Amino acid sequence: MAKKVSLKDIAVKVGVSTALVSYVLNGKEKEKRVGAELVKKIKKVANDLNYTPNQIARSLRKGNTKTLGLIVADIANPFFGTMARVVEDEANRFGYTLVIGSSDEDSHKLGKLIDTLCNRQVDGFIIVPPEGSEGHIEGLLRRDVPLVLADRYFVGLESNYVVLDNYKATYEATSLLLNKGYKRIGIVAQDSELIHMSERVRGYSEAMKGNGLEKELCIKKLKFSELKLKMPEIVQDLTSGDSPLEALIFATNSLSLGGLYSIKETELNVPNDLAIIGFDGNEAFDFFYAPLTYISQPIAKMAKESVRILINQIEQGNNKTENKKLKHSLIIQDSC
Amino acid sequence: MAKKVSLKDIAVKVGVSTALVSYVLNGKEKEKRVGAELVKKIKKVANDLNYTPNQIARSLRKGNTKTLGLIVADIANPFFGTMARVVEDEANRFGYTLVIGSSDEDSHKLGKLIDTLCNRQVDGFIIVPPEGSEGHIEGLLRRDVPLVLADRYFVGLESNYVVLDNYKATYEATSLLLNKGYKRIGIVAQDSELIHMSERVRGYSEAMKGNGLEKELCIKKLKFSELKLKMPEIVQDLTSGDSPLEALIFATNSLSLGGLYSIKETELNVPNDLAIIGFDGNEAFDFFYAPLTYISQPIAKMAKESVRILINQIEQGNNKTENKKLKHSLIIQDSC
DNA sequence: ATTGTTTGGTTAATCGTTTAAGCATAGTTT
DNA sequence: AAACTATGCTTAAACGATTAACCAAACAAT
């Protein structure tokens, strides 16, 4: 790697001190009363030599890196990929670079990522926190590290967060089914203590109870690892027997997808034998023989808000926390 | 942000120079003959204070950042998301952090990303180069910046690269169709000068010519921006008239998807009226009424090889370039 | 007794920027 | 003429870690 042009190179060439060059190149020529002649000369030489400041050195001196850290569950997941993309663009717009990490929903991995990024002195974090990671988040908060939680948050922690109004999302989805006359409605959710999931289940429950159907509640929880193994079985169970379900809500994108793969293998006809509502968009939803009705998240808005809040905290030192619950939209197609 | 523990804090607490602490914490206690007592004490204090080295300072001094830059077209695209994920894991495995950028297939944006990452002193790049970016890549090569091109490369440039054997991929896909008896076969490709695309077209052409069908060649090229607009029209054109196509190969994932959306709207029956072969996997392919036969890329392998080659060059200063053309696999389902 | 070696440390320069503080010289007040 | 003020630039410390070079004391060898 060829060595880069430094302030010193310019200084030597022009015959001044590095301080002066730094002032000029940082637009402090007025404030620091640099001679008009020299300003021109310095700018020209800087340009000729194709100078760009060494961010590492600058970071060390200034104590900031103009870098944000984004930690999602898995960047290969299109939901997080899309989110990352918007975060990247927004960060760039504000002059920040983005570093992305995947936690695999593993709080230990999250801890390692946080350490790494802290040592690299990122100025702040946007984190999609996995289960059991309150401790790590709390640690960051205690150290006053600028931080926004996205997609999920912890009830006990006073932190910034930007999430979907998950309760309302499933409440309305369930209501839609109820309005269409379905009564025996079930939900397949992730087996997780995380608030976004419990809110989704609660939205479903409350909607059912509101219709006097508390006895009909059917909630199945799956661990992530069991998805491929158990989904066919679950679909089978729920839709047979003496009171088979009439409708099913899937509480995540992967559950929806898993569900579709399973349903495809059965004799069931959607929506006649079974109505379904999915979560998050997915092109596959459109190609299912009965294109899926689904709850869509405003990913871009979530990402933008997160960045805005984060940068606000970094640059203004804003210390009161901001919370956002965004509204879903219901994409209505043919599956119910 | 609370200040972090530094080498000096430890040094002061133990009552030694920072040099000694640095030696011990970097495992040079033997080489530098540090007293056994002190070694213990320093390690203990470092541990108690929860010390972790400031990577920024270390980077400035050592001239490396243990950071890799990955520039893809769009991290929201699952193909690149998956690739990024594997690159991330591999980089981590070797003690590197990953910074990701999206070029949007825009060489100017690529240039800006390269500048940003260079100023942040990444140790090397993995780049999926957009059209017209030879100049930027050449610039990096001239400065001896460690670099691996992925997915595509430039014929004139002597650089590392890891790509799919695109020629073989479409050659075999076309052969499959020919063997099944289809004769009037077309290909819909991206309108691009990039080698991966021209190789895909060439694979198709050669296979057709090999069967004496050069007169039947039907190659449609679409600009990325025209995809949604023109695809329905193209599908319509190709499949009607007096010699409608019997089979169609889509040369990218988004073309495949766009094609499927269009075909869904027609009266055509796949594979009876029209056989299709797609590119890259996609869950949507599985839910099309005639699950798609497609050319699948070994993304993980591509990512791993890229990282291996890159780190090899960074750490060994290896200056002979490595090139890899990986083999596709043909996932055979019901669309042909 | 002189020289040499080992042991166990310290000093100080360095990476490239930023920035507070200082210091001439010229020009302006009183 | 003495005392300020402005102008225009330089010096040097600092950020935190690394590392070459040096130093002192203890001990051994000639």
Statement: residue B258 has pLDDT above 80:
yes
Q: Which chain A residues are within 8 Å of B98, Cβ to Cβ?
A: 99-101
pLDDT of B241: 80
Best mutation target among A61, A70, A74, A97 (most B Cβ atoms within 10 Å) is: A97
Burial of A102 (0-12, 13-18, 19+ CB in 10 A): buried
Q: Mean pLDDT throughout B146-169? A: 97
Measured between CB atoms, does B119 come within 8 Å of chain A?
Answer: yes
pLDDT in tens, B63-102: 999 999 999 999 999 999 999 999 999 999 999 999 999 9
Q: Mean pLDDT throughout A79-103? A: 97
pLDDT of B285: 96
pLDDT in tens, B288-298: 999 999 999 99
Indicate the residue of B82, B99, B283 with minimum beta-carbon distance to A76. Answer: B82
pLDDT in tens, A262-298: 999 898 999 999 999 999 999 999 999 999 999 999 9
Which bases along strand C come within 7 Å of a protein CB atom? 7-12, 14-21
Which bases along strand D come within 7 Å of a protein CB atom? 7-12, 14-21
Q: What is the mean pLDDT of chain A?
A: 94
Give the CA B56 to C1' D16 distance in Å: 8
Size of the A and B interface in Cβ pairs below 8 Å: 138
CA A194 to chain centroid, in Å, comes to 14
Statement: residue A168 has pLDDT above 80:
yes
Q: Which candidate, A90, A54, A65, places its Cα nearest to that of B115?
A: A54
Rounded-to-integer distance, Cα A85 and Cα B127, Å: 17
Statement: residue B246 has pLDDT above 90:
yes
Residue with more model confidence, A229 or B40: B40
Percent of chain A with pLDDT over 90: 86
pLDDT of B57: 97
Statement: residue B161 has pLDDT above 80:
yes
The answer to whether the Cβ–Cβ distance between B78 and A82 falls below 8 Å is no
Q: Mean pLDDT throughout B215-234? A: 87
Q: What is the DSSP string of A234-254?
A: HHHHHHSSSS--SEEEESSHH
Three-state secondary structure call for residue B71: strand
pLDDT of A241: 81
pTM score? 0.94
Phi, psi of B279 (to 5 degrees): -130, 135
Cα of first residue to Cα of last residue in chain B, in angstroms, is 60
Interface of A with B in 253-282 (CB under 8 A): 257, 260-261, 264, 282
Q: Which candidate, A109, A118, A146, A121, places its Cα nearest to that of B88?
A: A109
